[in-house]
A and B are shown apart, each in its own frame.
Chain A
Amino acid sequence: EPEVTQTPSHQVTQMGQEVILRCVPISNHLYFYWYRQILGQKVEFLVSFYNNEISEKSEIFDDQFSVERPDGSNFTLKIRSTKLEDSAMYFCASSGRGQGADEQFFGPGTRLTVL
């Protein structure tokens, strides 16, 4: 069964450093998403991406964040200068049709720890 994969599973970084989180969505999906979940809190939408551009983003997704689909398979989230409060689990998801009314498939997540 196809699945979304994410690397690394755990990333530890120093405050102020740049990190890139990587995702490989399901191969025939067209819509891609990033979410984050701070420990003990709810899953929060960050950004959606379609046709090589951002479709929608939340207030959390400020200038420190960027997304890219550098090739036909990877989808990345970059945090330019990490802060302590960026420590969270980051989930990538993909869907076929998008527009919300569609099942999203989530990856296993990357746990980001900022020291």
Chain B
Amino acid sequence: SQKIEQNSEALNIQEGKTATLTCNYTNYSPAYLQWYRQDPGRGPVFLLLIRENEKEKRKERLKVTFDTTLKQSLFHITASQPADSATYLCAPGTGGFKTIFGAGTRLFVKA
């Protein structure tokens, strides 16, 4: 069955450093992959979408890579700030109307 794996352990980093979060998937071939941010008690907020023919995508301090051979996406936040502390969800997609989220990785950025 399709499986999405994100680091279940929280990631703790110092302000100003680059945070790198991993999303691995198995048993399917997504045509794209989305990243969302979720704060406690709130709904997810869309951040970036990367398609299978794109190796890398950037938006301000965010960078996403998509390696279809490794079946992996990396999500980077450069010059991280305490306000970046949240849970980050990945959602590989094959099209259609069903979005399946990974469990998310909790990021803590210390001042």
Which residues in A have some Cβ–Cβ distance to B below 8 Å? 4, 31, 33, 41-45, 48, 50, 55-56, 58, 89, 91, 93, 98-101, 103-109
Contacts and interface: CB of A to CB of B under 8 A. Distances in A.
Interface stretch (B19-27, B73-81, B97-105): B97-105
Contacts of A58: 98
Contacts of B93: 100-101
Contacts of A42: 89, 101-104
A14 to B, nearest CB: 24
B108 to A, nearest CB: 17
A101 B32 contact: yes
Interface stretch (B10-18, B39-47, B58-66): B39-47
B3 to A, nearest CB: 12
Given A56-B97, A93-B43, A101 B31 contact: yes
A43 B44 contact: yes
Say whether chain B's binding surface is mostly helix, strand, loop, or mixed: loop
Q: Which 10 A-B pairs have the closest CB atoms?
A: A106-B43, A48-B97, A55-B97, A103-B46, A42-B103, A56-B97, A100-B93, A43-B101, A56-B98, A91-B43
The size class of the interface chain B forms with chain A is 20 to 34
A99 B95 CA distance: 5
Given A43-B38, A100-B32, A100-B95, A109 B43 contact: yes
Nearest to A54: B97
Contact of B46 (A44, A50, A105): A105
B97 A100 contact: yes
A81 B33 CA distance: 36
B103 A41 contact: yes
Contacts of B41: 89, 109
A9 to B, nearest CB: 10
Contacts of B94: 100
Contacts of A43: 38, 44, 89, 101
Contact of B98 (A45, A50, A105, A107): A45
